[in-house]
A and B are shown apart, each in its own frame.
Chain A
Amino acid sequence: MNQISTLARVFGFLSLLTVGGGMAAFPEMKRLTVDVHQWLTFPQLVHIYSVGQMAPGPNMMMIVVIGQWAAGLAGALVTLIAFFGPTALLAYVVGRVWKRLETWPWRRSIQEGLAPVSIGLLLAGCFTMARGAIFGLETGAIAVGTLLILLQYKVNPALLVVAGAAIGVISFLPK
C-alpha cells in the first residue's frame, strides 16, 4: 500500500517534467526509481526504456513495467494514471483557453523560450542514458549508425531498434 502511494507521488512528479518529450524526465526518473526507491537497477531502466521504443503508442509506456515490478498490477495502473493524469488535465485546460491566449504576447515568448530548454533536457536525458548503454566500440557504432541512417534515409525508427537487437545478439552472444 505504501509502495502504491510512493509510485503515485513519484510518477505524478515525473509527469510534469516531460517538457518536450519523455526523455526530458529521464535523469530524474533514474534518480528516483533507481537511486532513491530502488525499484529496479540502472541497466534494467535503460533496457526497458529501449524496449519501449519498439512498442506502438506513446513512447513512455515502459513506466508500466516499473509500476508492475514495484507493486504488481495495481502498481502498473497507478503508475500509468499518475504519469499521464496530470499532463492530460493540463492539456485539457490549456486546450480550452489556447484560443484566448492567441493575442497574449508572452505566449510566443514562452513557446520560443522553452524550445531550446526542452531540447537541452532531451539531450541531457540522452547522455544519462548513454552512460548505461554505450560502453565500447560495438554499442557506440550502433548508436552512431542509427543516427546517421535516420538523418539520411526515411526509415521507420522502430525497425532500426529491432536491427540493433539483431546486431546485439551477433556481437554479444557468448560463443
Chain B
Amino acid sequence: MRASSASASATASVWEIFIAFLTIGATSFGGVVPYLRDGLVTKRGWIDDKEFVEMLSISQSLPGLNATNMAILVGQKLQGGTGAMAAIFGICLPGGLLMYACGVFYHLHGDHAWTTAALKGVAAAAVGLILYTVVNLSQKSLSRKFDFVFMAATVLAVNRLHWSVPRALLIVGALAILFHRPGRMKANLPE
C-alpha cells in the first residue's frame, strides 16, 4: 500500500464530484489532461500526483478516451459507482450541449461561404493537432526502436491494406504484446 496522506483520506460528495468534473468539462479547451491534473490534484487534492499518473496510464491502455476513463477511475475511487456516473456525466455535459448546438447551426448555415471557408482551415489545423499528438505520444511511450515497426505496420494495415481497425488491433496488437512478453524486457531487438 502506498502512503499517500493527501489522498488516502480524501472525501467528496457525489454533488462535489459532479461540479468538479462539470467545471473541467466546461473549461478544458485544447485537451483535458492538464485541466484534470489542476482540478483534481492541485486544487482539490482528491488524488496525489502518483495516483494521477497511474490512473492516466490505465486510461491510456484501455479503449475509451482519456477524459472519460479518468472521470470513471477518479469518480469510482471517491464514491464508487455513483461517483463514477457523476464524474462522466459532468465532464461530458458542457461539450455535448455545445456540439449539439453546433450540429443545429451546421445544418442551417453549413453551406454558407464563410462557414465552408472557416471549416477548411479548422480541418487542416485539426490534422496538424493530431500529428502533434502522434509525435508527443511516440516520444513519451515508445520504449524501443522496434516499436516503430509495429506503429508503421498498423498504419499500413489500416490505410494501405484496408484492414478494419479491430483486425489491425487484434493481429498487430497480439504480435506487439508477444514481442514485449515477460522475460524479454532487456532485449533491444527481436533476434
Inter-subunit contact A16/B30 (CB<8 Å): no
Residues of B contacting A118 with CB < 8 Å?
60
Residues of A contacting B100 with CB < 8 Å?
64-65, 68, 76
Instruction: Spot the interface stretch: B8-16, B40-48, B109-117.
Output: B109-117
Alpha-carbon distance between A25 and B106 when the two chains are bound, in angstroms = 23
Contacting residues of chain A (29-87) with chain B, CB-CB under 8 angstroms = 31, 44, 46-62, 64-65, 68-69, 76, 80, 84, 86-87
**A18 on interface, CB distance cutoff 8 Å:** yes
**B178 on interface, CB distance cutoff 8 Å:** yes
Chain B 152-183 interface mask (CB, 8 Å, partner A; 1/0): 11110111000011101100110011111111
B25 CB to nearest chain A CB (Å): 4
Chain A 112-128 interface mask (CB, 8 Å, partner B; 1/0): 11111111111111111
B55 CB to nearest chain A CB (Å): 8
Inter-subunit contact A160/B129 (CB<8 Å): yes
Residues of B contacting A20 with CB < 8 Å?
60, 137
Residues of A contacting B180 with CB < 8 Å?
108-110, 112-113
Contacts A51-B122, A119-B137, A120-B150; is A56 near B26 (CB within 8 Å)?
A: yes
Q: Interface size (B, Cβ < 8 Å)?
A: 100
Alpha-carbon distance between A146 and B114 when the two chains are bound, in angstroms = 21
B158 CB to nearest chain A CB (Å): 4
Alpha-carbon distance between A151 and B102 when the two chains are bound, in angstroms = 29
Residues of B contacting A1 with CB < 8 Å?
none
Choose one: A58, A167, A168; the contact of B67 (CB below 8 Å).
A58
Alpha-carbon distance between A167 and B122 when the two chains are bound, in angstroms = 9
Contacts A57-B28, A95-B76; is A122 near B134 (CB within 8 Å)?
A: yes
Contacts A115-B142, A120-B150; is A84 near B68 (CB within 8 Å)?
A: yes
Residues of A contacting B155 with CB < 8 Å?
120, 123-124, 127
Inter-subunit contact B29/A54 (CB<8 Å): yes
A77 CB to nearest chain B CB (Å): 9
Inter-subunit contact A125/B122 (CB<8 Å): no
Alpha-carbon distance between A55 and B54 when the two chains are bound, in angstroms = 26
A141: nearest chain-B partner, CB-CB: B124
Inter-subunit contact A119/B134 (CB<8 Å): yes
**B32 on interface, CB distance cutoff 8 Å:** yes
Contacts A17-B63, A54-B29, A124-B159; is A91 near B73 (CB within 8 Å)?
A: yes
Alpha-carbon distance between A18 and B68 when the two chains are bound, in angstroms = 12
**A133 on interface, CB distance cutoff 8 Å:** yes
Residues of B contacting A130 with CB < 8 Å?
127
Contacting residues of chain B (42-94) with chain A, CB-CB under 8 angstroms = 55, 57-69, 72-73, 76-77, 81, 84, 88, 91-94
Chain A 128-160 interface mask (CB, 8 Å, partner B; 1/0): 111011100011101111110011000011111
Residues of A contacting B4 with CB < 8 Å?
none
A45 CB to nearest chain B CB (Å): 10
| Listed A/B pairs (5) with beta-carbon separation below 8 Å | A48-B106, A92-B81, A109-B181, A124-B157, A126-B130
Across the A-B interface, the 5 shortest Cβ-Cβ residue pairs: A168-B121, A120-B154, A146-B128, A164-B125, A87-B64
